[in-house]
Chain A
Amino acid sequence: IIQTHKGVIGIIVVNAEGIPIRTTLDNSTTVQYAAQLHHLTMLSRSAVRELDPQNDLTFLRIKSKKHEIMVAPEKDYLLVVIQNPSE
């Protein structure tokens, strides 16, 4: 359903260990994105917790010149969606 949304370039589902378990992108891109974003999400999450131990990360939105990466961390997974920023 997300894939058919206009502007969506790719979707990756990453498990708790940072391993991609589902993807619509090619293998090497997937592995790269999964590793980098898993790490970044961990950093964001600990930054949020450090600012307030009772708070927790719910969503991350990384906007860049070429596209927008959205990361929704769940209990055991990370949902990563890469989309065209102008949509």
Chain B
Amino acid sequence: MQSDLIAEVEETLKRIQSQKGVQGIIIINAEGIPIKSTLDNSSTVQYAGLLHQLVMKTRSTVRDLDPQNDLTFLRVRSKKNEIMIAPDKDYFLIVIQNPSD
């Protein structure tokens, strides 16, 4: 059962990674620790740390503005790339892609 789930996760990551323009994918757990990444170690750790913090702050901003609301997605566009973060209950999925694609 466990290995089926892992295989499914791998498949999904492969599918996202093969999308044109995708530079990297990182999955971080609720503590901000990267548990899967297609990037090198130091980039992963850097992205994970900063983005975990940013998502937590964004989430509390959303809740401050309306306690009954909740963050569902965050999209940070910059000159060089676009970072998309999908926060889930126990994990955050981070995808970094080329902004022009």
Contact = CB atoms under 8 A, between A and B. Distances in A.
Interface of A: 32-33, 36-37, 39-40, 43-44, 47-48, 50-52, 54-67
A66 B74 CA distance: 14
Contacts of A58: 77-79, 99
A31 to B, nearest CB: 11
Interface of B: 46-47, 50-51, 53-54, 57-58, 61-62, 64-66, 68-81, 99
B50 to A, nearest CB: 5
Contacts, number: 79
B85 to A, nearest CB: 10
Chain A interface mostly helix, strand, loop or mixed?
A: mixed
A44 B74 CA distance: 11
